[in-house]
Chains A and B, each alone.
Chain A
Amino acid sequence: MTIFLQLVASGVAVGMIYAAIAFGYQLTFATSKTLNFGQGEALAVGALFGLTLVPFTGYWLMIPLVLVFGFGLGAVVERLGVRPAIAIKSEYGWIMATIALGIIFKNVAENIWGRDDLPFPSPLPDAPIEIGGVRILPMEMLIVGGALLMMLAVEIFNRKSIWGKAVVATSNDIDAAGLMGINTKRVITLSYSISAMTAAFAGVLVAPVTLTGATMGSVLALKAFAVAIIGGLESGLGVIVGGLILGVAETLTGFYISTGYKDVPGLILLLVVLSIRPVGLFGKAVIKKV
């Protein structure tokens, strides 16, 4: 039983990372019905950038700088990859363009930081804290807290600030928002910026417990998509539930079956959910108008 609880506890931390990335998918999908297929690379590049800063700034001061970096990266992706494709209404265009940008980021990162995975210094002590027989790393608690805080901050931004309200308005009806004088193009750029910022932040959160490298994000991003699907691409906090389900399912698979297969349940879940209920477990079916 303790082992089981232990596995659940580690699963929760991983799950929150998925939730944070999936949350980023939701942001851009809401405003523009597009996704950044290079989200994993935004995460990896953010973590590597953070790794370079840590010796100069320390872990805590590095975070705001990484957030700014992620914010800028998202804007670049939107401008180069998404906006031109939206202009010509080409779905194939933005899918391929964001994939291409992701590949470029990954390749450039490999050339700057090398192909080997690097250790990321942990800001918190490595000694686990024991709660009721379950040992939890302080870093895992930071991941859960940080990811929740990030999502909360974005939610508050969306509800309280004028720009956030513009994001919500654009998500509800892009044409009406445009007619009300909202610069929807800029709102889409903003949503990409926040999305990449979330990913970069998730990168520096997860890096101390895993390793840092250019390829660290690919599988994370794909599984986060599974979480976004389970939670529903349109529905707010379903991603947290989705993330927890997947995170726990993974650690259990890793322990009881084989670590080699630990990525499989998420992907299978993605395929199964899409075969049975494409709008996600928490999503609402959209009625197509003819």
Chain B
Amino acid sequence: MANTALAPAAEPAATPSLSRGIGWVGGLLLVAFLAGFPHVVTSTYYVHLMIVIAIYAILILGLDIVVGYTGQVSLGHAGLFGIGAYAAAALFFHFKIGIWLGLVAGIGLTAAFGAILAVPALRVSGPYLAMVTLAFGTIIQIFINELTPITNGPLGITLPPVRVLDFSLIGMQAPWGSAGRKLEFYYLVCACLLATIVLVNRVVRSPFGRAFEALRDSPIACDCMGVSVYRYKVYAFVVSAGLAGLAGALFAWSERYVSPNTYSFELTVLFLLAVTMGGRKSRSGPLIGSVIIVMMPNILADIGLVRIMAGIIAAAAVVVGAQAFLRKRENRYAILIPVALCILFFPATMAMESVTDYRLTVFGLLILFVVYYLPDGIVGFLRQMIPALRPAHTAEGRSVAAEGSALIAQRGDAGAEALLKVDQALMQFGGLKALAGVDLTVKPGTIHGLIGPNGSGKSTMMNVLTGIYKPTAGTVTLAVAGGQRLDGRTPSEIALAGVARTFQNVQLFREMTALENVLVGLHHTFKGTLFDAILGTPRRRREEREARARAMAILDFMGLHALAQTEARNLPYGKQRLLEIGRALALDPVLLLLDEPAAGLTAPDIADLVAIIRKIRDAGITVILIEHHMDVVMGLCDRVSVLDFGHKIAEGGAREVQADPKVIEAYLGAPGEMGGTTTEAAHA
């Protein structure tokens, strides 16, 4: 084994426990800090500031699920925040109902709106989704303004001082006296914040969190692992919206006043800044981000402080710029612009009387800075500097022992002649017939080769079989549970019916470890609901334990044991291909489709691959193999079908097909053409 190449793999065995420990220490410090704060700093102003920070942090932790984990930009979170706030405020305004039911209503109503928002969001991503959420936020603001009977319109709603616990109901005084009573709300907000941290931690480490990350890294692969992208986007939005609603309801009671203009586009952008600046995919990042966006206006209000900070930034920029200019030859001019900007900021603040009016400009500049120079945020930067802070990928059951069998063949219907039957598949793109009525019959327990020149329709066939394309005409039948039609069903349904696949251009979940990639494949073994994940029930823990052991067994089988904790993007190319097969095996398929598994592999890697494919077949899993390496095809396949221009031109045993004149013609051109148009022959 090449130790040098695998050196990083040995490390994580030690670091996760350390960083997990740091997580606990951080959590305890946070609890101690929150508990002690109002006793050390007694000023009501600062206690209120702390409340606002905690409330924003709740929302931003939820926003991180959408932005960090599913990788979508939401510009609608201020709207969701507003719904939560108005739910709580309107309940009091109309029915004199206090904070507790207000919180419940805030969470429930906002989560419902999150689900509504997810409907258009399901079909789109990226800039479209950003615009959809922006439109949503704008609509909410309009409705808050216009639905005067419910929301009291532009006047807003004023609330009385909050009463968290009502001791008069049981006829006694509050045991902590009147001074303590003022802190009841503070401690309620802190408890909500801590509960949110625990909840988000549990959700993102559950199969739900893995599904969120999987759909971010490769939506297509995610669907083909039986994890419906649609469904999990809805889950992400609902959880995120629920937290926004909780934050909104708390905010209404902490400010004791709600008005439509608070929940504006600027607030949304501020939330996004906090998530990005603090650091995505962490609990500490949103906390840091929240502190920054709440404190910033206070700092900007004090021009003296701003000048001092601008001076420090300018000095730091001079040092960093000079260092970079002397050391690095390339790109030395690229760094000059930000350095010059940082330095210019100082005289600018000296010239200005007040920067409060330029608050939004400062936020805009901060966003630009973070996007280009700190894309992983403060926490990401620290993690890069200090390895001990890196996330423990296998938070639970670190020293996983491989257990259970790697391959569980789901037998197709006994006695079925053909496991897969494709009848007259037609796939038309405009005028092009990528598949012009192809029949294909795959016998159970065989390796069936699918070959043909480039553009012959092999990958199209693969996509038709797995539901990525819906065939224009024709049927696809899989002989499980008495024969199931596959055509017209979604990729995730087909995957769950027992068809797993790999991709021609590797489609791993890049930011997840090898083990987590396989765990996404094992998603179908988890029966627990979102509540199991949030509450950490015994069922949830048992399922996680079993899945991890099984995943290790699969990695063992693929020879990837030592790389279990390595992020997929950091694996060598050959290992990535193997991992993709391992992930597909985790689906417990009856039929495995391999799309050019040997492409780009070295000779020894190919030998390993061939051995693995044989073992898979011997375990009873039927394989369809698309491949250009003829020796691999000839050595492995029990039967080979040849496609050319969307037609099946030959079928039979490997040797038989190899000798077929039509196949030779398809690959090399007809003998007659050889003399005249050599270029055409070479092209084919």
Contacts and interface: CB of A to CB of B under 8 A. Distances in A.
Contacts of A96: 73, 272, 276, 367, 371
B360 interface: yes
Contacts of A176: none
Nearest to A107: B360
Nearest to A96: B371
A267 B481 CA distance: 46
Interface stretch (B45-53, B125-133, B395-403, B602-610): B125-133
Given A90-B375, A93-B371, A287-B429, A222 B138 contact: yes
Interface stretch (A67-75, A141-149, A166-174, A256-264): A256-264
Interface in A199-230: 218-219, 222, 225-226, 229
B322 interface: no
A267 B128 CA distance: 13
A263 B135 CA distance: 10
Task: Say which size band chain B's interface belongs to.
Answer: 35 or more
Contacts of A222: 131, 134-135, 138
Interface in B465-489: 468-469
Interface stretch (A48-56, A78-86, A131-139, A189-197): A78-86
Contacts of A101: 364, 368
A103 interface: yes
A20 B543 CA distance: 56
Nearest to B143: A264
A163 to B, nearest CB: 26
A264 B128 contact: no
A263 B123 CA distance: 23
Contacts of A267: 135-136, 138-139
Interface string B101-128: 0000000000000000001101110111
Interface in B347-374: 357-361, 363-365, 367-368, 371-372
B274 to A, nearest CB: 12
Contacts of A219: 138
B212 interface: no
Contact of A103 (B146, B269, B462): B269
Given A100-B364, A101-B364, A290-B504, A111 B468 contact: no
Contacts of B364: 100-101, 103-104, 107
Given A96-B276, A222-B131, A263 B138 contact: yes
Interface residues of A, number: 47
Contact of A100 (B123, B126, B138, B368): B368
B505 to A, nearest CB: 8
Q: Which of B220, B269, B371, B375 has the most CB of A within 10 A?
A: B371
Nearest to B224: A290
A290 B360 contact: no
B303 to A, nearest CB: 16
A60 interface: no
A187 interface: no
Given A260-B146, A287-B429, A97 B136 contact: no
B463 interface: yes
Interface stretch (A4-12, A150-158, A240-248, A270-278): A270-278
B128 to A, nearest CB: 6
Contact of B142 (A260, A270, A271, A290): A260
B252 to A, nearest CB: 23
B265 interface: yes
A35 interface: yes
A110 to B, nearest CB: 8
A107 B361 CA distance: 6
B127 A91 contact: yes
Contacts of B618: none
A193 B504 CA distance: 39
Contacts of A88: 375
Contacts of A237: none
A272 B73 CA distance: 19
B276 A278 contact: no
B267 to A, nearest CB: 12
A76 interface: no
Nearest to B359: A107
B525 interface: no
A37 interface: yes
Contacts of B135: 222, 225-226, 267, 270-271
Nearest to B133: A271
Nearest to A84: B372
A104 B365 contact: yes
Contact of A270 (B126, B131, B360, B361): B131
A270 B133 CA distance: 11
A166 to B, nearest CB: 24
Nearest to B67: A92
Contact of A97 (B132, B266, B371): B371
Nearest to A270: B135
B123 A290 contact: no
Contacts of A263: 138, 142
Contacts of B71: 92
B371 A85 contact: yes
Nearest to B370: A96
Interface string B138-164: 110010011000000000000000000
B616 to A, nearest CB: 22
Contact of B375 (A35, A93, A229, A264): A93
Contacts of B424: none
B86 interface: no
Interface string B637-648: 000000000000
Contacts of B266: 103
Contacts of A62: none
Contacts of A274: 120, 123-124, 128, 132
Contact of A225 (B131, B361, B371, B375): B131
Contact of A261 (B128, B142, B371): B142
Nearest to B434: A287
A182 B460 CA distance: 33
Q: Which of A96, A218, A287 has the most CB of B within 10 A?
A: A96
A111 B357 contact: yes
A111 B504 CA distance: 55
B368 A258 contact: no
A104 B366 CA distance: 11
Interface string B74-113: 0100000000000000000000000000000000000000
B235 interface: no
A271 B429 contact: no
A258 B357 CA distance: 34
Contacts of A124: none
A84 B468 CA distance: 33
A290 B580 CA distance: 15
A229 B135 CA distance: 13
A99 interface: yes
Contacts of A258: 146
A70 to B, nearest CB: 20
Nearest to B595: A290
A207 to B, nearest CB: 22
Contacts of B357: 107, 110-111
A88 B372 CA distance: 9
B429 A107 contact: no
Contacts of B368: 80-81, 97, 100-101
A65 interface: no
A260 B154 CA distance: 12
A33 to B, nearest CB: 8
Contacts of A264: 139, 142
A233 B123 CA distance: 16
A177 interface: no
B346 interface: no
12 contacts: A96-B272, A97-B367, A97-B368, A99-B75, A103-B266, A107-B360, A110-B357, A263-B142, A267-B138, A272-B120, A278-B128, A290-B503
Given A93-B375, A99-B75, 16 more contacts: A92-B71, A96-B367, A97-B368, A100-B363, A100-B364, A103-B360, A104-B365, A107-B364, A225-B131, A225-B135, A263-B138, A270-B135, A271-B120, A274-B123, A290-B462, A290-B468
